[in-house]
Amino acid sequence: MTNADATTPKPPRFAIVDIARGVAIVGMVVYHFFWDLSYLRFFPVDVGYDPGWVAFARTLLASFLLLVGVGLVLGHGRAIRWRAFWKRFAMVATGALAITVATFFAFPDSFVYFGVLHAIALFSLMALPFLRAPLWLVVAVAAIFIGLPLVYSDPMFDHKVWSWIGFWVVPPPANDLVPVFPWFGVVLLGVLATRLILASSLAERLATITARGPILRSLALAGRWSLVIYLVHQPLLLGVLYPFALWLQPEIASRNGEFLGSCQQTCTEGGTPANLCVTYCQCGLEGVQENDLWNAIYTGRVSADEQAKLDAQNRLCSALIYPEAPLPE
């Protein structure tokens, strides 16, 4: 691949790409806002498990990773501008490290060790050879990365040390986990689509699109500052919402914490790995809340109907962490 030198002009910026990135970042802020509301029990839907919200989150992630491939081709397709590339890489990698450190202290049992920024940093490096590779090779490799997890999995990849690769049966607890398989394949789709568009007359038409009007200008601006927005939006959201949660429903926060602590202690003492206990107990907490079983939990007076609900939830949570065997009691 040709290397850029000091005389290589900066590639033109497509406003439509900034606008698309802005739409994605706004969608992500909306998703995290409702995730926070759900986590703090202001929103009745479990955003982390609800199929509609999960599909929304996956769509946003796919959009971001597609745009990573788009940006790489637009910025480095003719010749890699190494100084710009490493500057951007350092910013993303530093942001990923900051998120890991922050979430380790905030959520030690489910901290982010390979989230979207970690993935973007690695995928940007991995995608460089495909910016000028034959298109058939880009298609083939993208198909392998996307398709292989559909036909292969192994419990070895359930452990954190290997989970970033993919192929897990039950993923370890993490607030954000973006494995290489299948998601690098989505970046390659962005590379492929952009190379095809640039080789066609569609590129000229897309280049004429401008950010006119306050909405499009705002979206384009958000797209250009998407990394900064990604890094600061969650601390800002939680900084506002969490004090309200403690003020408006301190008894709920305390009750949830006591339940999770007791459940996880009992679970780990029974020989179940701690990471699986986190998932199991969070599932159990959601069942208690959804079925309003707090009185049964605290008093020990359980009706036949409540016992049936507790048993059903136990089976559901056991299957979540051990799909082929129940959790030992």
Asked if residue 326 belongs to a domain, the reply is: no
Question: For the chain, how many structural domains are there in total?
Answer: 2
Domain end position, chosen among 227, 244, 261: 244
Q: Is the pLDDT of residue 107 over 90?
A: no
Kindly state the helix (H) or strand (E) to which residue 39 belongs, with its residue range. Answer: helix 15-39
In a domain, 329, yes or no: no
- Tokens (6 digits) for 174: 């993490």
Is 3 contained in some domain?
A: no
One domain for residues 196 and 286: no
Question: For residue 28, is it within any domain?
Answer: yes
User: How far is the CA of 285 from the CAs of 7, 237, 264, 295, 310, in angstroms?
Assistant: 60, 24, 11, 13, 11
Residue that is written with structure tokens 């959009």 in the block? 63
| Residue 67 near residue 127 (C-beta atoms within 8 A) | no
* Domain annotation covers residue 8: no
Q: Do 92 and 182 fall into the same domain?
A: yes
Of the candidates 68, 45, 31, 4, the residue with the CA atom closest to the CA atom of residue 223: 68
Q: Decide if 313 is inside a domain.
A: yes
For 159-197, what is each residue's pLDDT tens digit? 889 999 999 888 887 889 999 999 999 999 999 999 999
Considering the domain architecture, whether residues 96 and 117 belong to the same structural domain is answered as yes
Which of 215, 244, 273 corresponds to the end of one domain?
A: 244
pLDDT tens readout for residues 60-78: 999 999 999 999 999 998 8
Same-domain check for residues 158 and 266: no
pLDDT tens-digit profile of 149-165?
999 999 999 888 999 99
Tell me, what's the pLDDT at 78?
84
Residues 308, 176: one domain? Answer: no
Q: What pLDDT, in 10s, does the model give residues 262-307?
A: 887 888 877 788 778 878 888 888 888 788 787 777 667 778 888 8
C-alpha distance across the termini of the chain, in Å: 59
Percent share of the chain, pLDDT over 90: 49
Domain stop point among 180, 211, 244: 244
Residues 148 and 33 in one domain: yes
Q: What is the span of the domain harbouring residue 305?
A: 249-321
The pLDDT tens digits for 234-247 are: 889 888 887 877 77
In terms of domains, do 172 and 293 share one?
no
SS3 80: strand
The verdict on 309 and 253 lying in the same domain is: yes
Name the residue with higher pLDDT: 100 or 258. Answer: 100
Lowest mean pLDDT among 216-220, 247-251, 258-262, 294-298: 247-251
To the nearest whole percent, how much of the chain has pLDDT over 70?
A: 90
* 35's tokens: 């995730």
Query: Which residue type sits at 91?
Result: M
Q: Does residue 4 lie within any of the structural domains?
A: no
What is the three-class DSSP state of 126? Answer: helix
In this structure, are 36 and 162 located in the same domain? yes
- Asked if residue 10 is part of any domain, the answer here is no
Instruction: Judge whether residue 218 has pLDDT over 90.
Output: yes
pTM: 0.75
Let me know whether 164 and 267 are in one domain. Answer: no
Residues 199 and 283 in one domain: no
Determine the pLDDT at residue 295. 73
What pLDDT, on the 0 to 100 scale, is given for residue 10? 60
Q: Is the pLDDT assigned to residue 329 strictly greater than 50?
A: no
Task: Of 131, 133, 132, 12, give the one whose Cα is nearest residue 69.
Answer: 131
Query: In this structure, are 267 and 176 located in the same domain?
Result: no
